[in-house]
Homo-oligomer: A and B are copies of this chain.
């Protein structure tokens, strides 16, 4: 295969180079760091060894955690080295045999997840939820929403890689008119289309991370589907927040796109309508948003195209908020943006919003949908503007619902 001849316009060209972990077909129990180029995966550790690179050790591990923990200077250095390996013609004979076709490998969870936090940063999403569940409130946002990026901890042990089946969760639910809760499989199983941010460089307890230090700590991003059982969540979540309605599974893409690949996608977040406390005030910072065009499909049919550029709170603000109380970061921490919903109906990142809490079924070629049915396959994909008009693809995240 030709590593240097990725088709013009391929969203996984040499300007992208996302990292993952794969098992080759001939060694299915091994886990190796891979770098995607087009429809192929470079065995990065083998390449480093073959070329006598000083990064052979860092890239020769079974997860990305060592690379994540190596710090932002090393991230840049490794990326520069990789770019050379796949572009300098004299490396061709060495490098070419170290590529595997994407379809031949098994993609693995690329890093060991430390803590997982989920935010709630889309104003459109939060307002839609408020209108549905608190229709009589004067404001569809809670009073704190414009002052801080609301978030909560999720279950890191059930973060799974794209392609993993999702077992429909069972649990308690209770309609307002039911005299007592009933138990059974969730009947309101939903998608949440999100972007996940992967922390590389840790921080110390008691030492907040400032807005401007975001790029020192965050290695890259992925797509994330925060599967949600709306009926379980509705009954359990007062007063301490979501628990079993979310904890059964969270899917992430197999590829982590380094922040450096997304420099051309940076955009200013929406105008801030409320003054921000200094630790969150990004008016003097570089643009904190990303112009990511997300696509949500169910069984191959696109149901929504949420624009990430509409997110009110940025990843840098979320990081600053998450640590302002002195909470430390660890290598492998993952945080989700919250459901991405744009202002248009076809830009909503959950079925809850797309069907207005089940009222308006979606008409798909294979039938109507309010919430997910067994066998449904949900896929999130995305791209961002790259250098010179190129697109930077994010790895897709897909999952099939199976009966419990």
Contact = CB atoms under 8 A, between A and B. Distances in A.
Interface string A236-280: 111111111101110000000000000000000000000101110
Given A237-B239, A240-B120, A240-B150, A324 B157 contact: no
Contact of A153 (B154, B324, B330): B154
A244 B321 contact: yes
Contact of A183 (B160, B244, B278): B278
Interface stretch (A163-171, A342-350, A370-378, A382-390): A163-171
Interface string A139-167: 00011100110111111111010000001
B153 A155 contact: yes
Nearest to A202: B157
Nearest to A235: B144
A239 B321 CA distance: 17
Contacts of A229: 325
B153 A243 contact: yes
A131 B327 CA distance: 31
A337 to B, nearest CB: 14
A115 interface: yes
Given A180-B275, A277-B172, A404-B206, A152 B241 contact: yes
A231 to B, nearest CB: 11
Contacts of A167: 205-206, 326
A325 B170 contact: yes
Contacts of A247: 153, 322, 325, 327
A102 interface: no
B157 A333 contact: yes
A181 interface: yes
B325 A239 contact: no
A114 B247 CA distance: 14
Interface in A293-325: 321-322, 324-325
A340 interface: no
Nearest to A325: B169
A47 interface: no
A88 B291 CA distance: 70
A242 B116 CA distance: 14
Nearest to A134: B239
Interface of A: 114-115, 117, 120, 142-144, 147-148, 150-158, 160, 167, 169-172, 174, 180-181, 183, 205-206, 208, 229, 232, 235-245, 247-249, 275, 277-279, 321-322, 324-330, 333, 404
27 contacts: A115-B155, A115-B156, A115-B157, A142-B238, A144-B172, A144-B181, A144-B235, A144-B238, A147-B181, A150-B240, A150-B243, A153-B153, A153-B243, A156-B156, A158-B205, A158-B328, A167-B205, A169-B326, A170-B326, A183-B278, A232-B325, A237-B239, A241-B241, A244-B321, A248-B326, A248-B327, A326-B404
